[in-house]
Structure 1
Amino acid sequence: MDASWLKVMRTVAISGVAAKHLAREDARTCLVIGCGEQAKGQISAMLEVRNLERIFLYNRTRTRAESLKTYIYEVLHFEGDVEIADGPDEKVRDADIIICSTSSRTQVFDGTLAKPGTHISGIGSFKPDMQKVDLNALKRTDKIVCDTFEGCMEEAGDFLTPIEQGEISKDNIDGKLTDLVLGELSGRENESDITFFKSVGFAMADLVTAVAVYRSLKDKG
């Protein structure tokens, strides 16, 4: 099995489950910042859990965004509108869901522009010196959920940098994805809440995905 494929699939699944619990039920617009391979799966996951009508794309290299736009129409068979933005902040106000799927070490959008009710998904940054979701977004967030607390406290610069600066604390993180799924943590509680899900990845998710692939192939002989 291709490890890169497994990584994409498990990250996609995790993000989709988080959005199912944290994004507004009536979310119809999605902004994707970073249009690499991971973005293809992220959009697919959002389409599984929400009835999106408009997708906005931004990438520093416009040709990559154009390629993703083609993929969304031809492979995912999306029937809504796909628009390529000229800058990361251009469509923040219009987005019900914001997906940050880049390995950027610096902040990729202005958190003050996110409207009430927005769900933000932060993936792709997995080192202590990577902080792509700015402090304004974190401070405005009503619920913060991570994939694993231990992993994020080791690798998530989105948390570690502002914690070191004394801007937020570990207590600002409300819980883990498993808490949501098991009902030990409530999901979205208010239509105006801003929610944030952070994933740095963990090996168990890769293993579970691999087992699912193996069992499927075995069943097919």
Structure 2
Amino acid sequence: MTLILTRSDVLAMITLPEVFAAVRGAHAELARGAAVLPAPPAMRLPGSDAAFLVMAAASRGAGMAAVKLLADVPANRDRGLPVQRSAILTVNTEDGACAALIDGGAVTRFRTAAASAVATAALARPESRVLGLIGAGALARTHVEALTAVLPFERIVVWSRTDATARAFAAATGAETAGTPADVVAAADVLCTLTPSKDPVVLGEWFRPGLHVNAVGAPPRPDHREIDSEGMRRARVVVDSRLSALHESGDVLIPLRAGVFGAEHVADELGEVLIGAKPGRTDPAQITLFNSLGVGLQDLATARLLVDLARRRGIGTDIDLAA
């Protein structure tokens, strides 16, 4: 039987501490060679700015292979619909049976924030006390919950292109609003960029010694980026996946094409840092940056968690696809 989990099913079960552990374990498993994570192919139809990404992964530990089909449809913004929509299909690696079909929206939001928290725990200075956010949407709120669980932040500073959004976020979280992105960077010990930007919203000349950056929001398109080339050059960069970064990250590809740095500057993966195969932060004054595209292995790890929880709690709907 195949388990169907709707968004409400997912939200009834999912918690950040469990997703944090699952995502951390998945990246470590990848670094040890026990998981497979190919670069996601992107499909684009002629005459459309929509992109469709196939995010696949397989895990020996999870006993599962998964694929998330992500639709990135910019025109949905004018329709009042989510720009990104997705669904996750999983199969058992032992017999190939279809295990689950899961709505991807909440999974993506939680595993993305969890990955930022894993990177922050591994790369940020332990004495970091100010969290800065560029962007104030739902992903920002989930990041606050995830990151405050790994470091004892005393202040949160936020900027959004829309003042009303920033004020609502501040009222809900106790954050301070800032006038410009530069003001956020000036205050922050840990910075999260969470905008669907095509052009840089953060400049490297603003970076202070000791800063840690989670570059999260730009969609997986080679011409979109939130951080300028100088920011990427100045930082010790850790990626979630080398293959994905070199395939679809504008933050990485634009400065690479311009010759600002070579591929070795973006060669280290988060999982390698977690297992000690590559260094993390090497100096309190070092600027570190986690380039977070989001990868199918994070979706797989969260799906495994959700399927197990659903089976124990009797949540979801079973269907027989072969009937």
* TM-score (structure 2 length as normaliser): 0.63
Q: Is the 8 A contact 2:134 2:184 kept in 1?
A: no
| CA distances 1:31-64 after superposition (whole Å, capped 9, x unpaired) | 1001111111111111011100011110000111
Asked if residue 71 in structure 1 is aligned to residue 172 in structure 2, the reply is: yes
State the partner residue of 1:52. 153
Asked if residue 35 in structure 1 is aligned to residue 136 in structure 2, the reply is: yes
Equivalent-residue separation in structure 2 for 1:43 and 1:101 (angstroms): 12
Equivalent-residue separation in structure 2 for 1:70 and 1:5 (angstroms): 23
> Match of 1:175, SS?
coil
Equivalent-residue separation in structure 2 for 1:184 and 1:71 (angstroms): 40
> Match of 1:107, SS?
coil
State the partner residue of 1:25. 126
* The structure with more radius of gyration: 2
State the partner residue of 1:109. 202
Asked if residue 8 in structure 1 is aligned to residue 109 in structure 2, the reply is: yes
| CA distances 1:20-40 after superposition (whole Å, capped 9, x unpaired) | 010100000011001111111
After TM superposition, the structure 1 = structure 2 runs for residues 96-135 of structure 1, keeping only pairs within 5 Å, are 96-125=189-218, 126-135=220-229
Equivalent-residue separation in structure 1 for 2:201 and 2:114 (angstroms): 23
RMSD of aligned alpha carbons: 1.3
State the partner residue of 2:184. 91
Greater helix content: 1
Equivalent-residue separation in structure 2 for 1:174 and 1:97 (angstroms): 22
User: How many residues end up aligned between the 2 structures?
Assistant: 212
Q: List alignment gaps of at least 5 residues for structure 1.
A: 74-81
Of the three residues 258, 261, 271, the one matched with 1:178 is 271
| CA distances 1:147-203 after superposition (whole Å, capped 9, x unpaired) | 011111111101101111111111112410110121111211211010000011112
State the partner residue of 2:256. 163
Q: What percentage of aligned pairs have identical amino acids?
A: 30
> Match of 1:57, SS?
strand
Q: List alignment gaps of at least 5 residues for structure 2.
A: 6-102, 315-323
Q: Is the 8 A contact 2:204 2:227 kept in 1?
A: yes
State the partner residue of 1:201. 294
Equivalent-residue separation in structure 2 for 1:109 and 1:203 (angstroms): 27
User: Larger deviation: 62-71 or 159-168?
Assistant: 62-71
Segments of 4+ moved more than 6 angstroms? none
Equivalent-residue separation in structure 2 for 1:90 and 1:40 (angstroms): 20
In the TM superposition, residue 70 of structure 1 has moved relative to its aligned partner by 2.7
Equivalent-residue separation in structure 1 for 2:115 and 2:202 (angstroms): 23
State the partner residue of 1:76. none
Q: Letter of the aligned partner of 1:31 in structure 2?
A: G
Q: Letter of the aligned partner of 2:278 in structure 1?
A: L
Greater strand content: 2
State the partner residue of 2:48. none
In the TM superposition, residue 105 of structure 1 has moved relative to its aligned partner by 0.6
Equivalent-residue separation in structure 2 for 1:188 and 1:174 (angstroms): 15
Asked if residue 153 in structure 1 is aligned to residue 246 in structure 2, the reply is: yes
* TM-score (structure 1 length as normaliser): 0.92
In the TM superposition, residue 110 of structure 1 has moved relative to its aligned partner by 2.4
